[in-house]
């Protein structure tokens, strides 16, 4: 009798666990909640990538001093640049791959590669292994970063909520970049080289498990019947996308070029201590977040002025960059560095949603390739920085470097006037046109055609609690006010 009671109790507990798992599954699959969970997954991936990118800044030069042979500065520059260079080379392929298979599988692949690269970093004991780990990070980033940003654009279709979601993602990118050097420096000093990388690897593993649980990348095959994305080379020659890509390159050059050069300049001109050099960029996180917040709020109220917010950001970056060499102490230096990050927040937050909108109205609403172009733009700046910046300082001087970067930003800002009328564009040869002209070619196309036909006839569909589709008459005014499916 006792064993029967125990068996009954165990069965009851298993049933309760099964019911809770089912409820959790229903919560996860709820579209609104899933959007938020996806945003969390992507933000963690972007945070990890940028922390891993910057965490080596205080660690590797000191660690490599014991291993160095040959040109030490060149070795450091190549190691730092290798991530961005490989990412730059892989992005055109990853963007096309994302357009073909969807966003979830590349995101999962990227997280796995990032996890492996972080583990290799933790236990690498020579330059070749460190170089391999750094290059692998670039490979993982080409998949994880691009698919993550594209996934946000795909799930957040309203312009206001898309700007807000991308703004949150940018805040995580900024936080990862700026908090990583002090995070890595403190742990390296007191706990040893492997510890910061092991912590990042554990977070990456958790994010990968979350991605596998929520997105189910290998069981969701609905992309087979969804529209084929526009080839990346066609997007690259689009004048509007080219202007945005150029702005993203120019605005990130000051940050990319100052990161490898400012430490030596601070030591030479203001005799900065190691803790000051380590904390150089951290205060700039707060104006970056402020810039993201202001741009999101302004874009929600005045969405037709996105180009203007980008132009203001570039002028801010230019003016701040020009004032860096005039600083005489650590406190003064914080002001232009905060100005640069504030301006970058304006440019990125205004122009990243604009890329998604351009694809919506001029091409097909598939975002892998267009955000691969954005990632390529960042990589151009960060690939050149560690290799070129030091040589420019050596040949021309630190003052001339900053004046050149500042002038480039101010002179490029008027080019964003080309984007002035973008918000007035209407969809041309887009998903809608393809379906209307060519007829349904798969399940996705057929469903879209049926939905459009019902809307045209004044019918709207609802799914009741029993899963039965019902139809209701829809007034003409309601149809007009909705703006249509693709408006």
The residues, ordered by sequence, that sit 6+ positions from 209 with a Cβ below 8 Å of its Cβ are none
The residues, ordered by sequence, that sit 6+ positions from 223 with a Cβ below 8 Å of its Cβ are 101, 102
Report the pLDDT averaged over residues 107-136.
Answer: 90
pLDDT at 213 over 80: yes
Cα(317)–Cα(58) distance, rounded to whole angstroms? 25
Q: What does the pLDDT read at residue 338?
A: 92
The residues, ordered by sequence, that sit 6+ positions from 105 with a Cβ below 8 Å of its Cβ are 217, 218
Contact between residue 192 and residue 92 where contact means Cβ atoms under 8 Å apart: no
pLDDT at 353 over 60: yes
- Helix axes of 127-155 and 330-362: crossing angle, nearest 10 degrees: 50
Q: What does the pLDDT read at residue 7?
A: 64
Cα(251)–Cα(131) distance, rounded to whole angstroms? 28
Report the pLDDT averaged over residues 141-150.
Answer: 91
pLDDT at 287 over 50: yes
The region of weakest confidence among 112-116, 223-227, 459-463, 482-486 is 482-486
pLDDT at 405 over 90: yes
pLDDT at 29 over 90: no
Q: What does the pLDDT read at residue 119?
A: 93
Report the pLDDT averaged over residues 27-35.
Answer: 72
The region of weakest confidence among 371-385, 393-407, 449-463 is 449-463
Confidence of residue 281 (pLDDT cuts 50, 70, 90): confident
- Helix axes of 31-55 and 159-191: crossing angle, nearest 10 degrees: 40
Contact between residue 231 and residue 96 where contact means Cβ atoms under 8 Å apart: yes
Nearest to 304 by CA among 160, 482, 149, 150: 160
pLDDT at 453 over 60: no
Residues 282-285: contacts with CB under 8 Å, at least 24 apart: 282/178, 282/179, 282/181, 282/182, 283/334, 283/337, 283/338, 284/178, 284/334, 284/337, 284/338, 284/340, 284/341, 284/342, 285/174, 285/175, 285/178, 285/179, 285/341
User: When comparing pLDDT for 367 and 407, which is higher?
Assistant: 407
Confidence of residue 108 (pLDDT cuts 50, 70, 90): very high
Q: What does the pLDDT read at residue 421?
A: 86
User: When comparing pLDDT for 92 and 459, which is higher?
Assistant: 92
Contact between residue 47 and residue 172 where contact means Cβ atoms under 8 Å apart: yes
DSSP secondary structure string, 249-260? HHHHHHHHHHTT
**Alpha carbon distances (Å) from 96 to 81, 90, 111, 198, 290:** 24, 10, 18, 32, 34
Q: How many CB atoms lie within 10 A of CB 65?
A: 9
Q: What does the pLDDT read at residue 432?
A: 40
Cα(428)–Cα(405) distance, rounded to whole angstroms? 38
Report the pLDDT averaged over residues 96-106.
Answer: 87
The residues, ordered by sequence, that sit 6+ positions from 412 with a Cβ below 8 Å of its Cβ are 246, 247, 250, 314
Q: What does the pLDDT read at residue 54?
A: 81
User: When comparing pLDDT for 134 and 432, which is higher?
Assistant: 134
Helices (H) and strands (E) in the chain, counts: 20, 2
Q: What does the pLDDT read at residue 120?
A: 92
The residues, ordered by sequence, that sit 6+ positions from 451 with a Cβ below 8 Å of its Cβ are 461, 485
pLDDT at 456 over 50: no
Confidence of residue 271 (pLDDT cuts 50, 70, 90): confident
Greatest mean pLDDT range, 10-19, 26-35, 83-92, 179-188 = 83-92
Alpha helices (H) in 324-475, listed in sequence order: 330-362, 368-395, 398-412, 431-438, 443-456
The region of weakest confidence among 3-17, 54-68, 207-221 is 3-17
pLDDT at 195 over 80: yes
pLDDT at 443 over 60: no
Work out the mean pLDDT of the chain and round it to a whole number.
80
Q: What does the pLDDT read at residue 410?
A: 95
pTM above 0.75, yes or no: yes
Confidence of residue 22 (pLDDT cuts 50, 70, 90): low
Predicted confidence (pLDDT) per residue in 314-338, tens digit: 999 999 999 999 988 888 889 999 9
């Amino acid at each position: 009798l006792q064993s029967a009671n125990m068996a009954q109790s165990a069965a009851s507990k298993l049933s309760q666990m099964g019911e809770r798992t089912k409820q959790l599954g229903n919560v996860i699959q709820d579209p609104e909640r899933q959007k938020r969970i996806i945003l969390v997954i992507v933000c963690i991936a972007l945070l990890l990538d940028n922390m891993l990118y910057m965490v080596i800044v205080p660690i590797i030069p000191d660690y490599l001093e014991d291993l160095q042979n040959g040109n030490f500065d060149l070795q450091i520059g190549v190691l730092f640049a290798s991530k961005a260079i490989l990412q730059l080379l892989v992005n055109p392929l990853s963007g096309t791959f994302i357009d073909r298979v969807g966003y979830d599988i590349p995101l999962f692949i990227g997280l796995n590669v990032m996890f492996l690269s972080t583990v290799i970093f933790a236990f690498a004991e020579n330059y070749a292994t460190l170089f391999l780990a750094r290059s692998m990070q670039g490979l993982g980033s080409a998949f994880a970063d691009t698919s993550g940003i594209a996934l946000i654009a795909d799930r957040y279709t309203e312009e206001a909520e898309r700007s807000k979601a991308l703004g949150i993602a940018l805040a995580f990118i900024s936080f990862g970049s700026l908090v990583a050097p002090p995070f890595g420096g403190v742990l390296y000093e007191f706990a040893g080289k492997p510890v910061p990388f092991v912590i990042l690897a554990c977070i990456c593993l958790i994010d990968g498990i979350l991605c596998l649980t929520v997105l189910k990348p290998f069981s969701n095959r609905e992309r087979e019947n969804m529209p084929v994305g526009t080839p990346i080379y066609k997007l690259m020659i689009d004048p509007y996308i080219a202007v945005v890509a150029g702005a993203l390159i120019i605005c990130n050059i000051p940050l990319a070029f100052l990161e490898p050069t400012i430490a030596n300049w601070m030591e030479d001109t203001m005799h900065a201590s190691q803790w000051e050099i380590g904390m150089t960029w951290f205060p700039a996180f707060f104006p970056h977040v402020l810039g993201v917040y202001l741009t999101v709020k302004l874009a929600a109220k005045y969405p037709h002025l996105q180009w203007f917010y980008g132009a203001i950001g570039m002028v801010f970056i230019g003016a701040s960059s020009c004032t860096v060499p005039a600083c005489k102490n650590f406190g003064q230096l914080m002001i232009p560095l905060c100005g640069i990050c504030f301006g970058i927040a304006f440019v990125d937050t205004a122009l990243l949603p604009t890329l998604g909108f351009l694809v919506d109205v001029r091409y097909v609403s598939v975002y892998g390739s267009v955000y691969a172009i954005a990632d390529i733009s960042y990589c151009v700046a960060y690939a050149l920085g560690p290799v070129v910046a030091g040589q420019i300082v050596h040949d021309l001087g630190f003052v001339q470097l900053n004046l050149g970067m500042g002038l480039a930003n101010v002179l490029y800002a008027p080019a964003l006037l080309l984007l002035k009328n973008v918000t007035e564009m209407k969809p041309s040869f887009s998903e809608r046109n393809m379906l209307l002209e060519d007829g349904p070619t798969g399940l996705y196309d057929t469903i879209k055609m049926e939905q459009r036909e019902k809307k045209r006839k004044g019918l709207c569909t609802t799914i009741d609690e029993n899963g039965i589709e019902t139809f209701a008459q829809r007034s003409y005014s309601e149809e007009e006010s909705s703006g249509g499916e693709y408006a």
